[in-house]
Structure 1
Amino acid sequence: MTQTADLEALTHAMIEAATRAGADQSDAIAVHAQATSIDVRKSDLELAERAEAVEIGLRVLIGGRQACVSASDHSAATIIEMAERAVAMAREAPVDDYLGLADPDQLARDADIAALEMADPGEDPLPDQLQALAFRAEAAAAEAPGISQIESANASFSRRRLWLAASNGFSGGYARTGHAVSTVAITGEGLGMERDYAGESRIWASDLPEPEAIGRLAAERTLARAGSRKPPTGAFPILYDRRVSPSLIGHLLGAVNGSAIARGASWLRKALQEQVLPEAFSLIEDPLRPRYASSRPFDAEGLPSRRRAIVENGVLTGWTLDLATGRKLGMESTASATRGLTSPPSPGNSNVALTQGAASVDDLLAEMGRGLVVTSMLGASINGTTGDYSRGAAGFWVEGGKIAYPVNECTIAGNLRDMLMTITAANDAEDWRSVQVPSLLVRGMTVAGA
């Protein structure tokens, strides 16, 4: 198994090779990733996959130009070739005067990585153990009366070690694990067939729910979908279930991303220090929460992670920025850089939480009276510049403050700026998610159904 010290050595070898090849600045990533996934069906093994690799990526900068290269071979000869190719590519790239590494005094120092508990200290589960988890989830779902078949049950595990180094002196890394179990169940046959799923993931195996609970939830959700039909057409309140409500906040996060702001392609580009949510709501990002899937001690440019309010008491307080977009906008980076092996840094979020409400979902159903509960969505027509919003949806129709029947094949539409200003939150956010958003009641949207 590749050790952390080996990954660190690889990144420093790439930096040295880039400097010898003529780069002004460079940064490098080395990743050792391993993953095992088991699918079962009808009490038998359906698919077993295991992957393990060490991959390396190098970014070089020369006079405002940059290029990224990657490889799965990490021999000394390959690293030299990568550096030479990257430098040659960068010399042909367009100039962007905002590109550049962080100043040394901006870099993270002595990060307390252990406090984030991002890697399960236990033994990695064996394939047989994962298969047993998947069988248990499948059996629990299949036991529910009315379930005609289990489309799939899955259990998986991943472990990823990463090291990042740069020519400005930064050098740091960490490990991350993930455990997951999911089930997809089916009820009915032919044109009357309906399906739904349940799935959860955790950093530590001890935090993952029992697979039986996941299987039973998949069956419960599927059986509730039986007999779906189209809802009426008109203007109604819509309750976004907590399974889909993060997508609404995701549109807000996309609109305040520095890349979109710098391009002028955001429906919130003129909304800084303006109200974008009702006053009761704040949207907090905290990359330093222990045992969360997107926690990180530093960003992809080596800046120390920190807690910040993206929206505070309904007011948009700032953009999400990496170094380059911050320079373009005349602002400091928010330590939000993310990147892959083959791509340069770009802004991204981690561990975002929206203020919860005091009301239960039943309270919100009673408040809405007549309308639509959305539990799943497909397709999207969203104008990033105007915020005009249209999506296919399925869920449940509400009459008299109670769920009346399941619905499918409908479209919901509105404008995101207007929608977000009308939200009321339930108290049911799932605290294990990296985007924690409760069910949200949105008023005055259009439903196109029967």
Structure 2
Amino acid sequence: MALSDPLSLEPLDAPLTALIDHARRAGADAADALGLYGRSASISVRGGELEDIDNSEGFDIGLRVLVGQRQACVSSSDLSASAIQRLAERAVAMAKLAPEDPYCGLAPDERLSERRNGDGLDLFDPTVVEPAALQARAMAVEAAALNVKGVRQAEGAQASFAWSAVRLRTSAGFDGGYATSRHGLSVSAVAERDGAMERDYDHDSVRWFSDLRSPENVGREAGERAVARLGASSMPSAALPVIFDRRVSSSLIGALIGSISGNAVARGVSFLKDDLGAQLFSSDIQILEDPLRSRGLSSRPFDGEGVKTQPFDIIRDGQLTSWLLNTSAARQLGLETNGHGARGLSNPPGITTSNVALMPGPLSPEALIAETGRGLLVREMFGPSLNPTTGDYSVGVSGFAIENGLTTYPVSEVTIAGNLRDLFASLRPASDLLYEYDTNAPTVRVEGLTIAGR
């Protein structure tokens, strides 16, 4: 490994300025421009041999123009002066033909972030992992998985690192940008016994190389998980408590996030559209968001519209405190944007969250399982189905049966189903919260789900 200077945002300066200038000359009333630089490398191995190398580097730009109450978005990877001018002129021509949108527009000046860079957030690690080192790490993670007794083969052993820089500039004068890095390891292991095979995986993804788990740890975990699933069978159908392992529990919080998105609420397609301020969870449940978390996987100093980001209580004492709003959704609902705008290269701003976490409870996962008595521990999910207007939820799962407060035989080929309202109301978190994803949760137990097995 070697160190490199932090990414410079300067190469994105001239293209973004030119985009906005050309758009205004072509007739745009307002515009915002997004510039991205990315550099990434990943290496996969199989059977101790190099299988795939993916190495990419490049710039991309995106432009949104507003003509009255009409807007259009365009993007390109061509940063030449002539291409930028054509792109801006095409965007204005498209906007003039677009249908009117009474809610589109730039974010209000008073909502814009004073923080214009990533200083203090520790998002960029200058460590460069050379291809030879990536290959060695991929081989090490594969070897660790194969070293677990019962593992027949390893698939998709991969090591990667990526750098990116983002810069947002608007015709109203906002100009901000920051750089990020990410390091990763992953592997899938296949275990076999008496001709029957089971697969499982493990991975790790962090901002800083020094925070990455060792290849030996990731590979061993994947192998042990695969072996533990050997002999899996269905289980009797029943209405029982279900415990979601930390690896999958964040999906439940993700379902909540989607249901309180301002866009879904404004369109009337969320089962929670009338529940602002309602008691959705027990009073000891807190779900918090921290876009300014140091080394957070989705930390950002400002949102996709330049709006200030700050710690945010999504659920406080079990109650839903607010919708998640960008500028457009806020205007539709007669509210103010609260820093959840997401800007893509080719689309108008959407809605997203940053470093969401369900706060942990007092019991360890083992104690929560012991207290449960009889139920199902879910370790993996397949093809979840959610009706956003009713909250009805179903998903295929695998995991382990719980009997007499202990995990027993491995389970597969079962489906669990219920309604998210019942699930949220009964949810109880364990103590094992880790910030491993953009949305995080500890192991949780829920009631009100039906297990469909044999």
TM-score by length of structure 2 reads 0.97
For the pair 1:108 / 2:113, whether they are aligned, the reply is yes
CA contact (8 A) 1:103 1:168 kept: no
* Aligned partner of residue 179 in structure 1, secondary structure: strand
CA contact (8 A) 1:410 1:449 kept: yes
Q: Distance in 2 between matches of 1:43 and 1:322?
A: 48
What's the counterpart of residue 87 of structure 1?
92
Q: Distance in 2 between matches of 1:184 and 1:336?
A: 34
What's the counterpart of residue 101 of structure 2?
96
For the pair 1:193 / 2:164, whether they are aligned, the reply is no
For the pair 1:41 / 2:53, whether they are aligned, the reply is no
* Aligned partner of residue 253 in structure 1, secondary structure: helix
What's the counterpart of residue 11 of structure 1?
16
What's the counterpart of residue 138 of structure 1?
142
Q: Which runs of 5+ in 2 are unaligned?
A: none
What's the counterpart of residue 383 of structure 1?
387
Q: Distance in 1 between matches of 2:11 and 2:364?
A: 51
For the pair 1:254 / 2:266, whether they are aligned, the reply is no
CA contact (8 A) 2:118 2:179 kept: no
CA contact (8 A) 1:134 1:155 kept: yes
CA RMSD after TM alignment: 1.3
CA contact (8 A) 2:422 2:448 kept: no
What's the counterpart of residue 449 of structure 2?
445
Q: CA deviation at 1:433?
A: 3.1
Deviations along 1:166-185, one digit per CA (max 9) or x if unpaired, are 00100111111000001110
Deviations along 1:176-216, one digit per CA (max 9) or x if unpaired, are 10000011100117961101001001000001011100011
Q: CA deviation at 1:112?
A: 5.6
What's the counterpart of residue 186 of structure 2?
182
> Pick from 68, 71, 76: which aligns with 2:73?
68
Q: CA deviation at 1:109?
A: 2.1
Deviations along 1:290-322, one digit per CA (max 9) or x if unpaired, are 101100000011111111101100000100000
Structure 1 stretches of at least 4 aligned residues deviating more than 3 Å after TM superposition: none
What amino acid does structure 1 have at the position aligned with 2:65? Answer: V
For the pair 1:166 / 2:170, whether they are aligned, the reply is yes
CA contact (8 A) 1:104 1:169 kept: no
1:304-319 mapped onto 2 (5 Å cutoff): 304-319=308-323
What's the counterpart of residue 397 of structure 1?
401
For the pair 1:423 / 2:430, whether they are aligned, the reply is no
Aligned length: 449
TM-score by length of structure 1 reads 0.98
For the pair 1:337 / 2:341, whether they are aligned, the reply is yes
When structure 1 is superposed on structure 2, of 431-440 and 261-270 the one drifting more is 431-440
What amino acid does structure 1 have at the position aligned with 2:387? Answer: N
* Aligned partner of residue 217 in structure 1, secondary structure: helix
* Aligned partner of residue 380 in structure 1, secondary structure: strand
* Aligned partner of residue 359 in structure 1, secondary structure: coil
What's the counterpart of residue 222 of structure 2?
218
What amino acid does structure 2 have at the position aligned with 1:256? Answer: I
What amino acid does structure 1 have at the position aligned with 2:18? Answer: A
1:275-290 mapped onto 2 (5 Å cutoff): 275-290=279-294
Q: Distance in 1 between matches of 2:321 and 2:195?
A: 49
Identity %: 46
Q: CA deviation at 1:111?
A: 3.8
What amino acid does structure 2 have at the position aligned with 1:206? Answer: S
Q: Distance in 1 between matches of 2:422 and 2:70?
A: 41
CA contact (8 A) 1:378 1:393 kept: yes
What's the counterpart of residue 130 of structure 2?
126
What's the counterpart of residue 267 of structure 1?
271
Q: Distance in 1 between matches of 2:246 and 2:312?
A: 23
